[in-house]
Structure 1
Amino acid sequence: MTSTVPAVANLNKFEKLKAEKDGLAVKAELEHFAQIGWEAMDEADRDHRLKWMGVFFRPVTPGKFMMRMRLPNGIMTSSQMRVLAEVVQRYGDDGNADITTRQNLQLRGIRIEDVPDIFRRFEAVGLTSIQSGMDNVRNITGSPVAGIDADELFDTRELIQQVQDLITNKGEGNPAFTNLPRKFNIAIAGCRDNSVHAEINDIAFIPAYKDERFGFNVLVGGFFSGKRCEAAVPFDVWVAPDDVVALCEALLIVYREHGLRANRQKARLMWLIDEWGVAKLRSEVETQMGRSLEPAALKDEILWDKRDHIGVYAQKQPGLNYLGLHIPVGRLFAADMFDLARLADVYGSGEIRLTVEQNVILPNVPDSRLEPLLQEPLLKKFSVAPAPLSRSLVSCTGSQFCNFALIETKNRAQALIDELEAELDSPNPVRIHWTGCPNSCGQPQVADIGLMGTKVRKDGKTVEGVDIYMGGKVGKDAALGTCVTKGIPCSDLKPVLRDLLMQHFGSTLRQPVAAGS
């Protein structure tokens, strides 16, 4: 099954690019690209079509590409982590990996000459980066403690893998879903705390019981963009777990065939919902599936506040535990990655999990190995008990590696939070999210305090600054925050954040330590 997208008058640049050559076509050309080098490549292939393979040209680091993985439900093995560590290790100071807000990893420093060999290494351990960029379905998120959480309602792991296999043809690439109008996010939640941020996905499945049957209510249309941010709306559909894959397929086909394509700023699913209404979208999906869908259950099971899973927790398997490690701003270097793989093997079952808060979970640690694991040197860097403000800090890549970012985020975010931790006593974690541009990869709209990069004027010069968002709520009754202050220069930000933390979140100034004490 391949796309049969109708002709669009006045195709924009990207629709023309896709009409000329499917993004997956470059899969057969990777060896050629490796031989000729990045500077000799066709620009459309280099700058755009490579993204269908998960390889991203970055003008701010010419010749050094980013590679985005696909890690369904954020789960990987120690063997896979070692391969990724070996990949970034060879690039020295340029090589690292960032955990994303979709339970995924992005590798930095990649050279096009190495891509064919990297893909061979990936294939040997069951990794793929296929269809992870441009107008494709992005990494599918689920509960980071699926299958090990004593309180879960449904183990999402197999279902998420099935959806990934549908979309990517089991990692080989699937032309049926390589020409969507825009990118598309899917989340499947099996727990009561909305660990997937359902409200910001194009389609999200949240647990709900109907006549004592377990299944999912469905939300549609959530998205962030530079022009608009919207929370997902109820689809008035309830599906049993066995119907999740079929519903994803049908909705993707309807979106592929009917989604708006003339203006890329108005091409996400919500714009089609604006035009059609939810009832018509549901009718078209039912037609595609060849049957009617049940209306939504009257209530869902998202009843808890959001958990961040940092710390030590007993699993539902007797005698086993999982450890949630705080990874400052989600950044990993090769040595960290090798060490995480070692810890997973020595103390756990060789499994590593990622969270949407950019942290790591080591599952299946027996009671008898807990104490030795907690004494490992790496856990001083990646703590199970970080300070309150550091604990919930999230940041996008920033201008160090991303050409869309208007400001540097990761290094600045960490430095600023360290200074605030030294000055303030904070009774509870405060979710502070940084994003370098309006594309909102750092998701400031779901934060207690969100910081969106911008350019501002100060002393007659253009400098890096932020717009401040507040009021984002996660977990039950999730809601998006709004912009409350515009144009704060980054150099003036610390006192502003300090005041917000003291006025709204109960932080107090630390008392100075008396001399000689």
Structure 2
Amino acid sequence: MTNAATTTASLNKFEKFKAEKDGLAVKAEIEKFASLGWEAMDETDRDHRLKWLGVFFRPVTPGKFMMRMRMPNGILTHHQMRVLAEVVQRYGDDGSADITTRQNIQLRGIRIEDLPEIFNKFHTVGLTSVQSGMDNVRNITGDPVAGLDADELFDTRELVQQIQDMITNKGEGNSEFTNLPRKFNIAITGGRDNSVHAEINDLAFVPAFKEGTGDWGLETREKQGSRGAEGQRSNVQSPIPDPQSPVFGFNVLVGGFFSGKRCEAAIPLNAWVSPEDVVALCRAVLEVFRDCGLRANRQKSRLMWLIDEWGLEKFRLEVENRLGKSLLPAAPKDEIDWEKRDHIGVHKQKQPGLNYVGLHVPVGRLAADDMFEIARLAEVYGNGEIRLTVEQNVIIPNISDSRLVMFLTEPLLEKFSITPKQLTRSLVSCTGAQFCNFALIETKQRALAMIKDLEAELELTHPVRIHWTGCPNSCGQPQVADIGLMGTKVRKNGKTVEGVDIYMGGKVGKEAQLGTCVQKGIPCEDLQPVLRDLLIQHFAAKPRQEALVSH
């Protein structure tokens, strides 16, 4: 079922090509595309439909595509990392990988001729890139230390995997959810520090205890059979609770998003769900968005625009209709009561004698050699598992106490430090103009260079989160930063140059909120002293004595 707007003559170009041919249809044409080459392909297939398979044509690197993976909860194995490294390795200077702000990896330098072989490699190790672009549900984020953190309230890993399996038909592609009005983000957190930035997702689940739900929970299991993806019994089982005891579940947030036209924090749906109903609720919300979401104007097609038009109560009722039962009201408070952690450094796990180590990856950029080495370290010192964070960093878990000292002597930790400086530690950047045709400025290398210079000038006692994004699409999420920098073009001395708008006031963790624009149109070449003053005025930075002497 699709929105009635898709049957009218006034379809925008995106709805027209989606109506002509489902994006997943190109899955059967990969061999043909490989033999044709990128220049001979149908342009709509090349520029748009390939995104349904996670393959992105980039005009700034013609002939070299980007691939975006799906990595539920940001977890992969050393085998998978090696395959990704092999794909990057073969392309020399054009090959690289980026950890994204949705806990996954993007590969650069991909040739269309190699897609059949690449997809075969992915299949052998259980990797998929399906439905990772365009009007699909993007990578589902969860706590990066799920199952490791002694203070967690719920291990999100299995739920996140079940949501992905439902949406993508276990990585094979699912046409039920390949024609949404626009992209859709889902996050679920089981910890106390909002590690997934729940407030910037279309649909988010945050931990909350509900009083007096024991009887309801039991009745639900009897009636619904704890149904999850595809009508099967869910593997996420809660013990039958004491009706008098608070029951663990999630409060639900809806409508958070960033776009060039508007940015909004997610709002409470006034709903609480038990873990076994999370997958079913995801399905219900997606069905409502798919069938009723606004499609005429691409700038007004995210979920929040539908909620605005209908009102929250009508939206909630329609979700309940799809779900087949009423939702309980939200718990009075959620359990997000910690400041957000970045997981860098050495940390004890809940498992006795084991540790996880967070490595800082500068602006998330990885070379093939880095990826091979991360895979080796995970295999030699841990159990082969690797985790990614929304701050674009890497965690290697399950390192025993006896192996930890040796691990910390590994040369890779000189590049990917466990003790980065305060500004470097929290630096985030989108891809920027080097590879992205939407970006208005170069971001990653400029961000690194500027932070290095600022750290030489200033002393700080705590991290300051500085986020760079190359355009208003906000992949670098400047609105959640202490200082956010959004790329733009500005006029200086009669010439157009690269510049930024500055955002401040973003807060993460408990009481999260979005920042707002405080200064516009600053040329990048004039930015460093502006940032220096902001850091001194608002973040207690102090000029270094040696810097004062040199000036």
TM-score, length basis structure 1: 0.98
Q: Is the 8 A contact 2:184 2:302 kept in 1?
A: yes
Structure-2 separation of matches of 1:366 and 1:474? 31
Does structure 1 residue 432 correspond to structure 2 residue 430? no
> By how many angstroms is 1:416 displaced?
0.5
Q: Distance in 1 between matches of 2:454 and 2:391?
A: 20
Paired AA for residue 134 in structure 1: M
Tell me if the contact between 2:258 and 2:264 (Cα under 8 Å) persists in the aligned partners. Answer: yes
Letter of the 1:45 counterpart: D
Q: Does 1:106 align with 2:140?
A: no
Whole-Å separation in 2 of the counterparts to 1:416 and 1:299: 41
2:129 & 2:4 partners in 1: Cα distance? 28
Does 2:291 align with 1:254?
A: no
Which of 437, 457, 461 aligns to 1:403? It is 437
4+ residue segments displaced more than 3 Å = none
Q: Partners in 1 of 2:523 and 2:547 — Cα distance?
A: 31
- Aligned ranges 1:429-508 → 2 under 5 Å: 429-508=463-542
- Per the TM alignment, residue 340 of structure 1 is displaced from its structure 2 partner at its CA by 0.2
Partner of 2:23: 23
TM-superposed deviation, 1:356: 0.2
Instruction: Give me the whole-angstrom Cα distance separating, in 1, the residues matched to 2:5 and 2:355.
Output: 55
Cα distance in 1 for residues equivalent to 2:157 and 2:454: 38
Measured after TM superposition, the shift of residue 166 of structure 1 is 0.3
* CA offset digits 1:321-357 (Å, max 9, x no partner): 0000000000000000000000001111100000000
Task: Report the AA paired with residue 367 of structure 1.
Answer: D
**1:265–1:513: structure 2 CA closer, same or farther, 3 Å change rule?**
closer
- In the TM superposition, what whole-angstrom CA distance separates every residue of 1:458-510 from its partner, at most 9, and x where no partner exists? 11100000000000000000000000000000000000000000110011111
Match of 1:214 in 2: 248
Q: Distance in 1 between matches of 2:370 and 2:514?
A: 34
Matches within 5 A, 1:274-293: 274-293=308-327
d(CA) in 2 for partners of 1:402, 1:153: 39
Aligned counterparts of 2:492 and 2:5: Cα–Cα separation in 1: 48
Query: How far apart in 1 are the matches of 2:425 and 2:61?
Result: 30
**Inter-partner Cα distance in structure 2 for 1:232 and 1:332:** 32
CA-CA distance at 1:514 after TM superposition: 11
- Residue 290 of structure 1 deviates from its aligned partner by 1.1
Please list every run of 5 or more consecutive structure 1 residues that lacks an aligned counterpart in the other structure: none
RMSD over aligned CA atoms reads 0.9
Q: Distance in 2 between matches of 1:291 and 1:512?
A: 67
What does residue 71 of structure 2 align with?
A: 71
Secondary structure of 1:512's counterpart equals helix
Give the aligned residue type for 2:410.
E
Matched, 1:33 2:33: yes
Confirm or deny that 1:264 pairs with 2:298: yes
How many Å separate the matches in 2 of 1:289 and 1:186?
Answer: 18
TM-score (norm 2): 0.92
- CA distance in structure 2 between the partners assigned to 1:44 and 1:286 by the alignment: 37
Q: Is the Cα contact below 8 Å between 2:3 and 2:293 reproduced in 1? A: no
> In the comparison of the two structures, how many residue pairs are matched?
513
Aligned to 1:234: 268
CA positional deviation for 1:289: 1.2
Q: 1:426 to 1:11 in 2, by over 3 A?
A: same
Contact 2:5 2:296 in 1 (8 A): no
Structure 2 contact 457–547 (Cα < 8 Å) conserved: no
Match of 2:225 in 1: none
**Cα-to-partner distance string for 1:178-235 (whole Å, 9 max, x where unaligned):** 0000000000000000000000000000000002100000000000000000000000
- 1:81-100: per-residue Cα shift (whole Å, max 9, x none)? 00000000000011010000
For 1:158, what is the secondary structure of its paired residue? helix
What residue identity is the alignment partner of 2:520? K
Q: Quick one: distance in 2 between partners of 1:513 and 1:414?
A: 19
Which residue identity is paired with 1:106? Answer: Q
* Counterpart position of 1:363: 397
The alpha-carbon deviation at position 160 of structure 1 amounts to 0.2
Aligned counterparts of 2:536 and 2:364: Cα–Cα separation in 1: 26
Aligned-pair CA distance for 1:140 = 0.2
Q: Is 1:159 paired with 2:159?
A: yes
Q: 1:375 aligns with which of 409, 415, 437?
A: 409
User: What residue number does 1:90 align with?
Assistant: 90
Deviation at 1:436, TM superposition (A): 0.1
Q: Report the counterpart of residue 238 of structure 2 in structure 1.
A: none
What do residues 405-425 of structure 1 show as CA deviations (whole Å, max 9, x unaligned)?
Answer: 000000100010011111111
User: What CA distance in whole angstroms lies between the structure 2 residues aligned with 1:400 and 1:301?
Assistant: 41
Structure 2 CA distance for aligned equivalents of residues 406 and 184 of structure 1:
24
Question: What corresponds to 1:5 in structure 2?
Answer: 3
Q: Supply the AA of the counterpart residue of 1:301.
A: E
| CA-CA distance at 1:513 after TM superposition | 8.0
Partner of 1:143: 143
> In the TM superposition, what whole-angstrom CA distance separates every residue of 1:335-384 from its partner, at most 9, and x where no partner exists?
00000000001111100000000000000000011111100000000001
